[in-house]
């Protein structure tokens, strides 16, 4: 679909969307300026699988999907319940997650290291107790290896599977992005995105789709389960306090996100497979939204300007 970002009727809608996900109606919150800093291309680059997948609005679906998966692991779930404002300020928490994802994807290595230090400092205060599958109380810390591994795998699997379910078609083909698709794209994305976890302290994230699937299955066998607290979080994720129009759009994305889950994970979450039209309507809606936003985010544009400057010098 052609670019609609300059249409008079599209700008208010695009501005409202950007305000919700980033906290700024032009898509340029204060921290976006830091993407221009530095003299390197960052962890990835325009030719990477990460840029291809994270540049797609399928990440909206992936975010919902990842939050659902996190609800069935008691350690990260309790961390969210006890140490975040997810109920009182869900949009603020969304903006915080958007900041980390965007900077890690597009910023230079120095800026990424600085952002990781900020996140690690927040994690240092996140600790508490949870009940395991055996009903025994256990301690957790946000910096624990298993905590970091599960959150990383939930996000990686969700962004990848959401992209596979919705693309191609949301964005037009952009020639400077990788042409990889299918299994090659999946393996490249898993391997590349594993680098994002290293500054947070996770040095052994899965390096291929097969390793990712194996790790997810290990968690299913040993740690994942649904309890009353998990049900409460799932209920909130599926019914956030949005406006009527926001709830309608969100319900489409949530239904599509649920449809992309592994059947074993849907069963664990106590959710039924939605009807196929959720995916179809979500794909069409995101295609229109991408056209209204301009297909490339302000963050990606700033990153391209920095990288072009770096390449001209070398």
What pTM was estimated for this model as a whole?
0.90
Element (DSSP H or E) covering residue 258:
helix 244-259
Q: How far apart are CA 235 and CA 181, in angstroms?
A: 35
Q: DSSP strand E in the chain: where? A: 127-131, 137-141
For every one of its 314 residues, what pLDDT tens digit does the chain have, with 9 covering 90 and above?
Answer: 666 666 656 677 777 777 777 777 666 778 889 999 999 999 999 999 999 999 999 999 999 999 999 999 988 888 877 766 655 555 556 677 888 999 999 999 999 999 999 999 988 888 888 877 877 788 888 889 998 999 999 999 999 999 999 987 787 766 667 777 889 999 999 999 999 999 999 999 999 999 999 999 999 999 999 988 889 999 999 998 888 888 899 999 999 999 999 999 999 999 999 999 999 999 999 998 888 887 788 899 999 999 999 999 87
Instruction: Sketch the domain layout of the chain as residue ranges.
Output: 10-313
Burial of 163 (0-12, 13-18, 19+ CB in 10 A): buried
């Amino acid at each position: 679909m052609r670019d609609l970002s300059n249409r008079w009727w599209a700008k208010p809608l695009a501005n409202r969307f950007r305000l919700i996900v980033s906290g700024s109606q032009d898509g340029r919150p204060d921290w976006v300026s830091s993407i221009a800093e530095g003299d390197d291309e960052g962890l990835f680059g325009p030719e990477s699988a990460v840029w291809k997948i994270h540049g797609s609005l399928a990440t909206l679906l992936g975010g919902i999907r990842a939050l659902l998966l996190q609800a069935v692991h008691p350690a990260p779930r309790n961390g969210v319940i006890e140490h975040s404002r997810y109920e009182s300020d869900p949009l603020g928490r969304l903006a915080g997650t958007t900041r980390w994802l965007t900077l890690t994807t597009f910023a230079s290595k120095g800026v990424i290291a600085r952002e990781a230090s900020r996140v690690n400092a927040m994690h240092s205060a996140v600790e508490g107790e949870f009940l395991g599958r055996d009903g025994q109380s256990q301690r957790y810390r946000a910096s624990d290896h298993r905590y970091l591994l599960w959150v990383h795998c939930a996000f990686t699997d969700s962004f990848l599977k959401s992209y596979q379910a919705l693309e191609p078609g949301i964005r037009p083909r952009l020639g400077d992005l990788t042409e990889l698709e299918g299994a090659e794209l999946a393996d490249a994305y898993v391997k590349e995105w594993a680098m994002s976890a290293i500054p947070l302290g996770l040095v052994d994230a899965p390096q291929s789709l097969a390793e990712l699937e194996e790790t997810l299955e290990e968690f299913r066998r040993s740690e994942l389960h649904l309890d009353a607290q998990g049900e409460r979080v799932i209920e909130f994720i599926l019914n956030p306090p949005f406006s009527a129009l926001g709830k309608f759009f969100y319900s489409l994305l949530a239904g599509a996100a649920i449809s992309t889950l592994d059947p074993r994970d849907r069963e664990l979450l106590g959710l039924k497979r939605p009807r196929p039209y959720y995916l179809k309507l979500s794909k069409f809606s995101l295609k229109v939204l991408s056209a209204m936003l301009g297909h490339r985010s302000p963050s990606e544009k700033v990153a391209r300007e920095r990288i072009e400057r770096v390449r001209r010098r070398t």
